[in-house]
Amino acid sequence: MNGDTQKRASARYRASCHCGAVQYEVTADPVDAKLCHCRDCQRLHGAPMQWAAIFHKADVRMIRGEAHLRYYHVETGRHEHVLPCKVSCRLCDTLIADEGRRMWLAFPTLFDFGLPPQVPGGFKPSCHIFYGMRVMDVDDGLPKWAGHKDKSERLG
59 and 153 in contact (C-beta within 8 Å)?
A: no
The residues that bridge with 25 in the sheet, in sequence order, are: 14, 61
**Percent of the chain, pLDDT > 70?**
95
Angstrom distance (rounded) from CA 19 to CA 40 = 24
**pTM, full prediction:** 0.89
pLDDT-derived band at 2 (thresholds 50, 70, 90) equals: low
pLDDT at position 8 = 66
- Report the b/e string of 30-62 with b at 16+ CB within 10 A: bebbbbbbbeebbebeeeebbbbbbbebebbbb
Tens digit of each residue's pLDDT (9 = 90 or more) over 82-100: 999 999 999 999 999 999 9
Average pLDDT for 140-148: 97
Domain ranges of the chain: 13-133
pLDDT at position 6 = 47
Angstrom distance (rounded) from CA 58 to CA 80 = 21
Question: Which CATH code for domain 13-133?
Answer: 2.170.150.70
pLDDT at position 85 = 96
Tens digit of each residue's pLDDT (9 = 90 or more) over 100-112: 999 999 999 999 9
The region that residue 65 occupies, defined by phi over 0 for left and psi between -120 and 50 for alpha, beta otherwise, is left
Tens digit of each residue's pLDDT (9 = 90 or more) over 59-78: 999 999 999 999 999 999 99
